Structure 1
Amino acid sequence: MFKVTKDGQILMDVASATPPSQAFIVEALECSPYADCEVDHDSIAAYFQSQAAEQQLLVAKQKNAQLRISVSEDKMQASATLTTAQGGSLISLDQAKKIIVKSGVCRGYKQAFLENILSKQFDAPPGSEHHGVIAQGRPPENGLPAKLISHVLTLKERLKQPKLREDGTVDMRDFGALSSVSPGTLLITQRPATPGKEGFTVTGDSIEPKPGDSFQLVAGEGTEISPSNPLELIATIAGCPSDIQNGMRVDDIFTIADVNVKSGHIEFSGSVIVTHNVEPGMRVKASGDITIMGTVESGEIISEGNIEVRGGVIGHLDHSDNDQSLTCKLIAEGNIDIVHGQYTYLEARNIYIQKQANHCDIKALRTVRIGLEDNPRGKLIGGTVFDAQSITAGEIGSPSGATMSVYLANSGVEITSKTDQCIRDLGETDEQLDNLQKAVEKADQLKDVEKKKVLMAKISATQTHYCQQAEALENKLSELDHTLHELLEGTHLQATSALHSGVEIHIFDKTYTTNRSYPPCTAKLTDGQIEIEFKS
């Protein structure tokens, strides 16, 4: 009844017996060896509509399996679409591999993925489509940044571990013996930054990773880079190790119970620990860190490192100075960390106040945070912030609307002044170069060859000097512009609970005064204006 041609067409002999209906032909095909072939319904329908006498009727076609490969737009994935055979031949594994190669896929190929999709040819319906990933690119793995691995317990870490009493309670004033090191002790090992791991696309393109950030190991006082290993820092004196940026130092430490009239002022080349209080009128000055376990009342604390006060810092208006200054001052080149402050002048790189700052004058190179690090909910009430890059607090100002001033990125004014001076200097340098060029043209007219040669040499040396000066000024201008942009980019004031009325906000050369209380919000400089952004 049926026969197949060389090109895969299934023909039915209709000369000897005319089939009664289309359904008859389809049912006959389903019972024949050609049941999987694609039925040509159009040809069968045309036969019953035609009056012509046909000898043979095209009823079906054999179709081979097909495999199409598609590559994602980012070239990180290649997918295969398999159309199963309809009475035709299957696609072998080798044939499929050639199709993949021809599509441009050359990396990230997994034969198991391909075998899985090809296996559908044996159990899926004829002519059905199946999709699957057959190759996967690999994104680059960025390098790890350089890291410092400490081998000793620093003063700061030691103070986080109070001594345990026999009854199980903790003595917050007793931290045991001071941690000390001897000369030659290994303090820090620097783990170098890693270059990262290269990625690739399925078409074979390499994707370069970003190397990890690196930094130079810094040897502070009392330490040195190991002569045998540039990644190790060792102690050169006996003393207590303290962290510094990208390194460590070793200090002698002075410990005292109270700083009062009996002790006198404390001035020490190293770190100082006061286990109790600093009483009114007393001064503590140190080249290292200063840690005060109790309170500071109307005292002066000055450190070339960090200052930490575990109790309150309390002062008042200095009546002898017509109430123009405060009786309590904390000044650090590093960070200041206190629980709460009142009528105190605070100056440091970063200033952290756990609970509240009440009528304090604050100056920070970078950050002022009132509250705990993970959830700053403290209060900044009254006083003046003379300079900072960022301020974060729960509440800023007071519900009564009392006036207070906050100056952010105030150092940008100085940068602008330096930029203006740099532009003026560059203008003068360009003018000198113009004058020298005129001098060259004039000297070129001299007839005395020797005199002309000497004069040209002098002019050339002067030109070189001014060219170098112009280049240095242009580099300085670029550096100042970058510094100002970086400063303003990170400058903001954030109130996590409320920003009250009466707060005069200065960011760089712009001013904004709040005239009502705002919910949680952030103030920052946008398009040359101070904008208040509210949390959604």
Structure 2
Amino acid sequence: MFTLEQLKDYMRQRAEEDRALRSVTVTGGTLEEALESACQELDIPLKRLEFDVLQKGSPGNLGFGKRPWTVLAFEAKSKAALQGTEKADFLPELDAQQQLVEENEDGHVWVRLWHDGAYLKVTKPKGNGKAATEEDALSILHQRNVRDINRQVVKGALKLVTGTYGKVGEYTHNPANDTLMSVEVDDQEMRASVILTPPGPNGADISAEEIEHFLKNNGVVHGVLSLEIEKLVDQPEYNKKITVAAGTKPLPGQDAKIIYNFDTTLRIKPKEIEGRVDFKELNTIKNVLKNEELARKEPAQRGVAGRTVTGRSLPTRDGRDVQFQLGNNVALSKDGLRVLSTSDGQVMLLQDHITVETVMIIPGNVNNSVGNINFLGSVIVKGSVDDGFTVKAVGNIEVMGNVGKAFLETHADIVVHQGINGGGEGSVTAGQSLWSKFIQNAKVEAGSYVIVSDGILHSRVVAGKKILCKGKRAKIVGGYLRASEEINASSLGGIGSDETVLEVGFDPKLKEELDDLVSQNEALEKAFNQHNLNLQSLMKQERIVKTLPPEKLAQKKEVLSKYNETKAKLEQLKTILEKKQGELEALRFSGKISSSGAIYPGTRLIIKDITYDVIRESSAQTFIRDGNIIRAVKYEEIEEDEIVRRP
């Protein structure tokens, strides 16, 4: 409730503001006309105008009941008021005027007679609604036979508009004519209603406190609707059931829910790259790492009991738990709310069990129906790998059929049961060893062994340790083969075949790095020599003419910059080259090249830095380095345990 001091302060403030305010009351057939008149009277633009609607206009009906708009207009005081729009944007047409009127609401005066006196409350208007006036308030007070009216308090209520009741006068109370009230509770005790009878002359209205007290005395102790009661006090509805209390329905607990961090259905979703769909990348494999979260559980929630308006508890059920179904290579977290992988692999839902498979089995060929494979475990392909497709794995790759112009890559072993025919385009890379029936027109690299039963034809093969061809047709014809320790086959080279180059006695990777550095060095030396020639030419011209023209000076500056830059790169590369050469020479690989059968002319043998070109056919020999020459000795057999694949 407001106090007298609040009222006095407010009235002083408003009086000071009103003295400084320029205002005018105008009328017009439309709101637009009224505001235009106000702008002319005050000599200000529309965007600086504020106004209150004192009377809403009406066009009437057939000329009857026509009512003009009456507006109290004044110059805006705040910056916010100056942010209005121009006339064309602001003033509505007739339809818009009618909509504006509908959205506006006048302020209200509420008078209630309670046991200790008469009380008054004022509410604010909405939009451009009309504010309640002192005349309105006094009229209602007189209708209710209120005496000893404190008009100063009435004025304060109209100014402050606090929305709360304040005592403004007295009346002759007749308790026999007070509002009567009854309460009804429905059969389920979930709703309580009151029925009011109107007060007689000088009878007291009902107050919110009285309604709440009455409900409590009649056993309604829960779910009392205070806002509805306040509304009923302001706008009483008599001889009608009004709901004033509502029970709380019981809320069952939410069941536990498992949220999977992977797609539980096999859906083919081709990868899109720069607007083009790659139908080889089907995204059907969900790889996971060890200790990765695969699923989590949102725990079941406890239910919330309901309560009737009489306070009786309504029981409910708690949410039901759900258990994880665990498959292979997964485990629960300590809190039991997460499923974690215990190894790398492919996660999937098999018969509702969360499973991580460390071995992926492709039942047929790797083709358009399967797409490229990228897997954190091992891959077994029951068929072949078709041209253009890729199989990548962290574990072993085993192909029961052939490998065409395809790309295979793994950190572990690769086994190809039928053979590799790369067509000069594919590549096969094994971090450890590779076994294949044959290798033809392919690029193959293995960190340890390359073991072949039917020979290597016209291919580029690199092995970290040995290249071993064991079998009646296990020949090496054409191509470029490198190994650190040994190359061994049933025959080397061929009559009329392409050149066959075999290198041993060094780390192949280190040698490739060194070869690349040598190529870079040669290119830099060539560029450096050219820059040097250009620079010398310009300097010679300068000595002759003493002063070079501006374009030649600019050219000399550019050439000198390139000369110095290339020289610095050469010096840096020379340091790296010397380091790599030292590393290569420090390796103590003896290296040998062997053939159980023929060694044909046209075969080049390289052991460390010594090269030997075969010019006469020979057979059953092993070639080794002896000082600064390569010497042939008796053939040394392949040790059987070296070609056996170990698990």
TM range (shorter): 0.3 to 0.5
> Max radius of gyration: which structure?
2
